[in-house]
Amino acid sequence: MAEEDLKLDFDSANLYREEVFTDQKIGTIRQMTPVKSDGSHDQSRPLLFVGETSLMTPAGTLPINFRLEGPTLGDAAKQFSDAANKAIQDTMEQLRELRRQAASSIVVPDMSKGGMGGLGGGGKIQMP
């Protein structure tokens, strides 16, 4: 896609105010409060809660985000541990699957260039 084709439209009908709560140990809960375009609370839409924790990996910190169901912050906090553990297990399974796919990929030389690395065949030296 060319840069001139890129068009970003901000959805002013789907705005949320974000508040962050933390236990300063294992993660944060983001409370997403729906608001109207004037900033007032939009009572017609429910609060949303998103949990966040992170894993330390050999490649660095891996953020894990997951949805928390529940109408209140207290309900979201009660769900945090179970939801975080499930999200971590799902992420680990995805990483294992990516590893399996990478290990099973077969590299086939491009035969149109004469086989191995484009050197050609027949024992003759070929100039590019």
Range of the domain at 53: 14-104
Report if residue 27 sits inside a domain.
yes
More confident residue, 5 or 76: 76
Whether residue 73 is contained in a domain is answered as: yes
Q: Enter the tokens of residue 25.
A: 């140990």
In a domain, 50, yes or no: yes
Copy the structure tokens of residue 51: 């949990």
In the numeric block, which tokens belong to residue 69? 């169901």
Task: Provide the greatest CA pair distance for the chain.
Answer: 78
How many domains would you assign to the chain? 1
DSSP state of 64: E
pLDDT tens digits, one per residue of 13-62: 999 999 999 999 999 999 999 999 999 999 999 999 999 999 988 889 99
